[in-house]
Structure 1
Amino acid sequence: MKLTLETKRLILRPFTIEDAQEMFFGWASDPEVTKYLTWNTHKNIEETKGILSLWVDQYEKPERLNFAIELKKEDKLIGGIDVVGYLGETYHQLFDEAVERYNARQKRNDRKINDYFEHLFNRPPSKSVIEGANKQKSFYEHLVYIGTKNDSAVGTPDAEKTAECLREYMEGFQARNPNLYVFNAVMHLDEATPHLHIDYIPLGHYSRGLEVRNAKNKALDEMGFGNDAHSNNRWRLREWEVLRDICNAHGIEISEPKKSRGYSYTVEEYGEHEDEIRRLNEEKAQVETELTDKQSECEKLDRQLEQKADQVKAILNYIPDYEKEFQIEDECEQLCEELTSLLNGKLSIMKHSDEIISKAQRLSKIMKKLSNSTHKSGDTVYALRERLDRSLKDTEDVRQRLKQTSGECSELRRDNSALQAQVDELTEFVSLLKRCEPLKYSEVRQMQENIHAQREQEVQQSAARKKKSWGLE
């Protein structure tokens, strides 16, 4: 890829680290020039080297490039210009690898994705925002501004402060939001107040289907803002707090977020008209994220249907697997042993009734699967039938025992209900006795305590006699 252009007077070429001195003394250290740029005035040449190093690394990423402007005759560096990438190229860079892996797993051509952008929006990319059928956007714009034309209009000292705050805010935006890929950021200093436009594509990562997608709600979830109706508001509030701290450091105080959805960046307050527009935009963005979630749920259901279809196909095309058969046989034996243990006694049956039913159902499913299996080898069929007959017999025995124990469980439940009724009746009697005959109740309680003490004494004496007879004392 050729990155150098020449005209009669100028050369447009990539920057190098060696340009640091000319750039620093030429314009990077001049506040009158840098106040119109998206980065701050450089205080020393090391800052210039740092930004040049960043630009040099970006020549490997064609979505945004910075070029040096050089006078041909004088061989002198006089400025720079940046080139912002085409949205379609950005989509190819972000999603092509994931699309290629997704297509490689598809067996049907009609499920393959040729171009991810056109797959979402049914048209080629353009500079303006495009909405898909589910209100998903081709990219999202984050607008940040501080104050109004009444307190920070362009050309005033406060405007220079707010522009510096916006530059600092933008410098940390990508690091704070790794899932929001910024492909364009522009600061406008030619309108009523300085303001910043940040264009980004949200990146969500999935373990199934297309691994990387344009999914704002998923992107916010991965960044720790949750996956509910308020995740976007939580993110915007965090960004407001970042801007507030930056403004406070520069001696500017901004208002608290509005009580409506989202927030505003103000010094004092905005008019009712601006607040209403912002509120409606926030509600619209929230609906879009909810629709994105619904689309993700639909895709998840499609994947589940595919899995079920694959399972059915695997069953229809069953091929004998001797090792797997032995594993099934071992599982059947283990289930039978566990059921035998659980069916030992009425109390065990009552305590583990749900577990007994679950294991019996599992054993029944295994038997049904074995009974429906067919083998090409006669020897395999014969061996399978033998195991099937044994398993069916064991299953029938378990069913009979389960039927019997179910009746016993019902009987025990009835007995338990009767006992509970007696307990309730006795409790009520004791309560009435305590209220109506407190003296009698106290006498009965005293007699009961004496009986318990006597029983405990007898138990201790019996234990002492046993120890003595065993020669332990």
Structure 2
Amino acid sequence: MSEKSISMCEGKGSLSHNNREFTAKNIDSSRTPNNIVFVQQELGEAYHQLFDEAVEKYNARQKRKDRKIGDYFEHLFNRPPSKSFIVNANKQKCFYEHLVYIGTKKDSGIGTPDAEITKECLREYMEGFQERNPNFYVFNAVMHLDESTPHLHIDYIPIGHFKNGLEVRNAKNKALEEMNFGKDAKANNRWRLAEWDILKNICNAHGIEISEPKKSRGYSYTVEEYGEHQDKINALNAEIERLTAERDETVAEFEKLSKKKVNITEIESIEAKESMFGKKVTLTKEDYDKLSDTAKKYVAMEKNIKKLKKERDAAVQELGAMKQQFEAVSSELSAYKKKEEDKRFFSREKQNAEAKRIKREDQLSRDLQKARAFISACGLTEDFAKYRYNRSRSTELE
């Protein structure tokens, strides 16, 4: 069994994609029933479960009505929960996604001999995730087996505890601190490295060797370097996947609405009678309600089509922008690799030059010792000392 890599990144997922509420182009729907759902809870329900008690206690202490909190989710994000990420003005996310792969399509893809083993490794990793990370409440977790490679989508809400104000909050930095990963800028990186080691040990126990992530030919990243330099690309890949899924979802909904037609037969069957009041006509109440209902549906359908077109266009534009950003980060990483290679090259040149200098000085030192020994053997030591003295005096006078 060849060595495999582990890929972990903070995804920007879509719950509707994760839970297969629609089928994207990269999904084999015949294998969708094989997906493993570990937990599936509504986001809004999870927020009520986690924060309602703390909100109630907080509100009970408030004397001013305008300081009280209603729905905690809407208090943070100014809108109800949805099927995708929401980020508020403080860059706080309504939930986070941990995306995990073992190997590649070539060595661990569905249909390869190792696919079943990697699936079991991912299952074991997921089953211990919540216990290892008590401050990351997992409300949605699924292993996808209907795409090219088995992988995990773990969606969680970070929970932090505070002495002042609201006692329990959505707070990732505090959650990491409470789980003993520190409270500096590298806390999240330390957590990810710990999770990387956990999965590596699980893979080793199942006979899978995990390689150090490659930086360039003949050189390996440390795990920490890999996290720092590859995280941007992994996040952008996850963002592209999310946008592609949202675009496919919008297109599917648009096509569904486009196929809906107003029931012309029902409208044509309505009998209109001339009224005694000029050119006006009279209808039965049943026919009027039918016509009114049909007109309302038509207007609503037109509005939905316009909205979906707008959302589709926005998703396509955003996807294009993310691809450009992905290419820019890839270029940046390539430049970094070249810089590191150049740095090592110039370092070798400097070391070689220093080695030559030392060798030359050693040779001169040996030659000087031989010359002194020769002068002494010839009985010229005193004459040589006078020569050196006169030479130095001459230099001083000049």
TM-score by length of 1: 0.40
**Which structure has the larger Rg?**
1
Q: Identify which of structures 1 and 2 has the higher relative contact order when contacts are C-alpha pairs closer than 8 Å and 6+ apart.
A: 2
